[in-house]
A and B are shown apart, each in its own frame.
Chain A
């Protein structure tokens, strides 16, 4: 077993020289460290192996707000929502064994969506490790593939340094989840601790590659020669807090820009160069024109298969310029002509300096042309339906009209998610919170709770399907107890809609186990003392949405939408982006 001293030597950190300031337990020094790192809110659930930390927490109630969730998965999704809405590191606590294993889905979600988290799990006494003790699980090995870093603390002397490293790793470079597993003896251990020192260097860890000007120059050259340049942006712009730099870049170069769902909101929806969404259910123009652009500038995105469709028919005609902070992403799925490693906060201004001012009017007009076609064939019927059945799109249109793009929209996973991402208007960054990479049903409700704590002044609307809501409805209890004013909008089509859509389109309408029944959601909410209503006719929709949004405190609104509506356009799996279907 390593000692703290060895760890310090390995990481190249300077030995602690400051005088002893604090005498207490490992638990106390952990909480002190969290405060030093600026943590205000913790989502957690206690249990046997984390009891000393909870005991210490009792005395920290004035400094650390602890939200008692109803399930550890809810806790970690809430921490994710908090991180995504606030730009800070989300923190959650769980006990050993089942508590820790319940975090796994959230860790995987945070890992694939690069969400900064620090998760603290309790662990059995160090002397019991490996004995199959009560609530012992090998959390470190279970979570290794789904964490950016993890570490098991068995000696309280390690806690400060490990915690400092954890925060540094979670938020620097390409962010990600970190898990610290602390054995009970270390939580109880009485020690004299030095002053807490934040970490800003680990010798084996390069959070961001050094920017090399020659590649910026090469990129600028390619961009300046382009006739039909096209920018694809992802969450990297938001994570890098480079929204302004990004806007300046596309505005100077006059390049149409389309987003992945993780990048949604990095520039306002209404920005004239924002041409819409990429990928499977993205907009018509961005998908088709991907295969016509002569230069594609990918910024902070990773060419996920949902974005690229069939790879061997993806943008083969285009020179790719790829800006990313993670060297492993460049040339991973799509070969780059010029790869610009680095933080886009640094690389974008350099690139902006070197690119020529341009407008690309004719090229932009092409996007508008495709957009018009999509408006006529898909968007208008979805947003202004003529039939009796309500559509998810018209619900979103009403939300846009009421909130004017100022709300934070948290979605779950499925048809409603695609509709929300397609149609929700955003004026601000960090307004679209969704489970992008992992597609975690059950994410929406707890993530919205966290988002409300992360952005307390914003209206937070959780848009959730009837299926997804039934995966984590227990978090209504968290809302009941702590009063997070989350607006819960259930779009109920009485189907697991996205799977049903695929079964309709690709499996000869063999609706295999997608017919899902629901409880009385209104009664369920009311049993948690949450105001609720249900709408099944269009005539009541607007008023009901206004009531929900204007209601002080949390509110649940169930809207019955058409059973067999499909999300279009769609790039069928295995097809090229230019083979996108409008119906």
Chain B
């Protein structure tokens, strides 16, 4: 998908009924139990969460959730509203893959003997942009950051060389159009929020869906 002319692209998507990958970004207070409150919004509708990451955000005390699901635009829009309705949630955004920059981290544990013996492995790792995190006599751990396909490809490639253990992190994503949350937060702290916080995207014909 093209990243050009994103506004027009977004408007068109409003009519798009098919499922695709969406990354939902949630800014929220760091409160015990909130993860459950958010998770049940998905499970209530029998929607599987493909990937979920919680982390601090650029602002002290405000947490950021990245949730990846496969759904249609309509469903994701409704989910986002339901999440934003939760008391401790400040703001929710949802984006398609072309609107975000995202990475996942994968770790691979392989037998050191195997790699030492087979010169091809070293080339393999270089080819996949992997780095060695730990090298011990018995095993070596490599790390790769990238998109799903990249980390998956290395799993495939390592299979013949005794891949002992493999793990991949949840997705972390940054929204391309975002200018950060600092300014917004000031408004949230104010009693009378500005219009940005109460934007009515449906009435604005979809133009203000991604306001960051």
Which residues of A are at the interface with B, using a C-beta cutoff of 8 A?
1-2, 9-12, 140-141, 144-145, 148-150, 152, 169, 200-206, 209-210, 212, 214-215, 218, 326-328, 330-332, 336, 338-339, 341
Contacts and interface: CB of A to CB of B under 8 A. Distances in A.
B198 A341 contact: yes
Interface string B1-40: 0000000000000000000000000001111110011001
A204 B200 contact: no
A328 to B, nearest CB: 4
A10 B87 contact: no
A341 B87 contact: no
B202 A204 contact: no
Contact of B82 (A141, A214, A328, A339): A328
Contact of B202 (A169, A205, A336): A336
B188 interface: yes
Given A152-B33, A204-B89, A206-B193, 5 more contacts: A144-B37, A144-B40, A205-B88, A212-B198, A212-B203
A475 B33 CA distance: 34
Contact of A210 (B30, B40, B193, B203): B193
A332 B200 contact: no
Nearest to B29: A10
A169 B84 CA distance: 15
B44 interface: yes
9 contacts: A140-B33, A149-B87, A203-B188, A204-B29, A205-B87, A206-B197, A212-B198, A218-B203, A331-B202
B78 interface: yes
A339 B203 contact: yes
Given A10-B61, A203-B188, A330 B202 contact: yes
A326 B82 CA distance: 10
A474 B195 CA distance: 52
B135 to A, nearest CB: 40
B147 interface: no
Contacts of B29: 10-11, 204
A460 to B, nearest CB: 33
Nearest to A209: B198
Given A202-B87, A205-B87, A331-B202, A12 B189 contact: yes
* Shortest 6 CB-CB contacts between residues of A and residues of B: A328-B81, A210-B198, A209-B198, A203-B188, A204-B90, A149-B87
Contacts of A169: 87
B202 A144 contact: no
A332 B81 CA distance: 9
A332 B75 CA distance: 9
Contacts of B202: 330-331, 336, 339
B172 to A, nearest CB: 22
Given A2-B32, A327-B81, A212 B195 contact: yes
Contacts of B193: 206, 210
A123 to B, nearest CB: 14
B90 A203 contact: yes
A366 B171 CA distance: 58
B80 to A, nearest CB: 9
A176 to B, nearest CB: 10
B85 interface: yes
Nearest to A178: B87
Residue with the highest number of chain A CB atoms closer than 10 Å, among B32, B188, B191, B203: B203
A328 B89 CA distance: 14
A80 B7 CA distance: 46
Interface in B172-204: 185, 188-189, 191-193, 195, 197-198, 200, 202-203
Contact of B200 (A12, A150, A152, A212): A212
Given A148-B87, A202-B87, A141 B33 contact: yes
B40 A10 contact: no
A2 B31 contact: yes
B81 A210 contact: no
Contact of A145 (B28, B40, B87, B198): B40
B85 A328 contact: yes
B163 to A, nearest CB: 37
B31 A10 contact: yes
A338 B195 contact: no
Contacts of B33: 140-141, 144, 150, 152
Contacts of A201: 191
B79 to A, nearest CB: 10
A158 B200 CA distance: 36
B88 A204 contact: yes
A475 to B, nearest CB: 31
Interface in B138-180: none
Contacts of A331: 77-78, 202
Contacts of A1: 32
B146 to A, nearest CB: 34
Contacts of B44: 145
Contacts of A330: 202
B36 A215 contact: no
B67 to A, nearest CB: 17
B27 to A, nearest CB: 9
Contact of A215 (B28, B90, B188, B203): B203
Residue with the highest number of chain B CB atoms closer than 10 Å, among A150, A204, A330: A204
Nearest to A328: B81
A1 B192 CA distance: 31
A475 B12 CA distance: 57
Residue with the highest number of chain B CB atoms closer than 10 Å, among A11, A149, A203, A214: A203
A486 to B, nearest CB: 35
Interface string B101-115: 000000000000000
Contacts of A212: 195, 198, 200, 203
